[in-house]
Amino acid sequence: MKVRLAVAVCAVAAFASSTLHAQSTLDAVKSKGYVQCGVNTGLAGFSQPDSRGAWKGIDVDACRAIAAAVFGDATKVRYTPLTAQQRFTALQSGEIDVLARNTTWTVTRDTSLGLNFVGVNYYDGQGFMVPKKLGVTSAKQLNGATICVQPGTTTELNLADYFRANKMSFKPVVIEKLEEVTNAYFSGRCDVFTTDVSGLVSTRGSRAPKPADHVILPEVISKEPLGPVVRHGDDRWYDIVKWTLFAMLEAEELGLTSKNIEQNLTSTNPSIQRFVGATGDIGKMMSLDNRWAYNVVKQVGNYGESFETNLAPLGFERGINNLWTNGGLMYAPPIR
């Protein structure tokens, strides 16, 4: 009798916790009325507050797009600025609903950290920046260099691997805060700053006293596919964040922009009709309004628009971040 009761109690507890998990993030987000999004502390083009305190960047747009899909209102987001070291704990503990912070998709993070990467919003790779006056033209000349690097990043491991593979040595200067690590580099405390090439372009453009005094070396030593991340165990939320990213890519492929999507509500193209929710029930399949993707594009724009607004002004080119139809890697599975 006692055993049977215990089994029954356990079954109820397991059921309660699985239903709690299955629905929890979307329900919690809906009941509090906003998406809590973990972002960078301030990386121009990815996530940074502007002079009026409004967050801007492609990662910020990923957050705004989720709010547009869930609430039909891209402003329903609150931002949690996180260093590389803080970001995964913030997601695991439930402090944030989603992490959109130039975070590289790796097998370790995707499995043992209990996280799910939803896709890629920027294909990147690790590089090196040096002061021009050093006259260095290749990373192979960096033997013995002092190198500034942030902890809790893929950067640290790649750096060690690259130097070992090339039989070179280096002295790491490991500093957690972006402000402090870039100050250390720009003040000459290290010879080299290494991070994702996007981070080098961004910090050179926005933080260097004289950007032209610094060169980014030609070697790209790793693959850094950056993308939004959610917790394991909530497939509904995972679907929403994943298909919101794909909707921004698909909109670009379909030629839908924030400017023209309204007139496309009456399009006769079947793919566009489904996308804007004029036909089918794609939104409902995700517990969202059928206008979820329409709202994303109307309020945030397609992926190309987000790139043009946030990254192009800093000198970024589309390159491999172009659509697959334009020779790049950006490819959304069918929205049908």
Q: For ligand GSH, give the closer residue by CB, 30 or 207.
A: 207
Give the residue, chosen from 48, 103, 194, 290, that forms a contact with ligand GSH under the rule CB under 6 A: 103
Q: Is 84 in the site for ligand GSH (CB under 6 A)?
A: yes
Q: Which residues ranging from 277 to 336 are in contact with ligand GSH (CB under 6 A)?
A: none
- Tell me which residue of 94, 150, 122 sits closest to 318, measured CA to CA: 122
Q: Is 264 in the site for ligand GSH (CB under 6 A)?
A: no
Q: For ligand GSH, give the closer residue by CB, 109 or 291.
A: 109
Give the residue, chosen from 154, 302, 306, 310, that forms a contact with ligand GSH under the rule CB under 6 A: 154
Give least dist CB 70 to ligand GSH, A.
Answer: 25
Would you call 234 helix, strand, or coil by DSSP? Answer: coil
Give least dist CB 281 to ligand GSH, A.
Answer: 36
- Print the binding letters for residues 178-197 with ligand GSH: x by CB under 6 A, - otherwise: x----------------xx-
Q: How many residues of this chain interact with ligand GSH, rule: CB under 6 A?
A: 18
Angle subtended by helix axes 58-71 and 235-254, to nearest 10:
110
- From the number of C-beta atoms within 10 Å of its C-beta (0-12, 13-18, 19+), residue 130 rates as buried
Residues linked to residue 195 through DSSP beta bridges, in sequence order: 127
Q: Is 146 in the site for ligand GSH (CB under 6 A)?
A: no
Q: Is 40 in the site for ligand GSH (CB under 6 A)?
A: yes
| Span near ligand GSH by CB under 6 A; candidates 1-9, 100-108, 129-137, 267-275 | 100-108
Give least dist CB 43 to ligand GSH, A.
Answer: 5
Q: For ligand GSH, give the closer residue by CB, 182 or 264.
A: 182
Give the residue, chosen from 24, 48, 155, 310, that forms a contact with ligand GSH under the rule CB under 6 A: 155
Rounded Cα distance between 279 and 294, Å, is 12
Give least dist CB 144 to ligand GSH, A.
Answer: 23
B/e letters for 74-89, b = 16+ CB within 10 Å, e = fewer, are bebbebbbbbbebbbe
Residue nearest to ligand GSH (CB): 199
Phi-psi region of 301 (alpha: psi -120 to 50; beta: other; left: phi over 0): left
Tokens of residue 138, six digits: 């290749």
Give least dist CB 297 to ligand GSH, A.
Answer: 27
Q: Which residues ranging from 222 to 251 are in contact with ligand GSH (CB under 6 A)?
A: 224, 226
- Tell me which residue of 115, 268, 139 sits closest to 100, measured CA to CA: 115
Rounded Cα distance between 238 and 228, Å, is 10
- Report the chain's C-alpha Rg in angstroms: 22
- Tell me which residue of 146, 169, 182 sits closest to 43, measured CA to CA: 182
Rounded Cα distance between 71 and 324, Å, is 30
What are the residues binding ligand GSH (CB under 6 A)?
A: 40-41, 43, 83-84, 102-104, 150, 153-155, 178, 195-196, 199, 224, 226
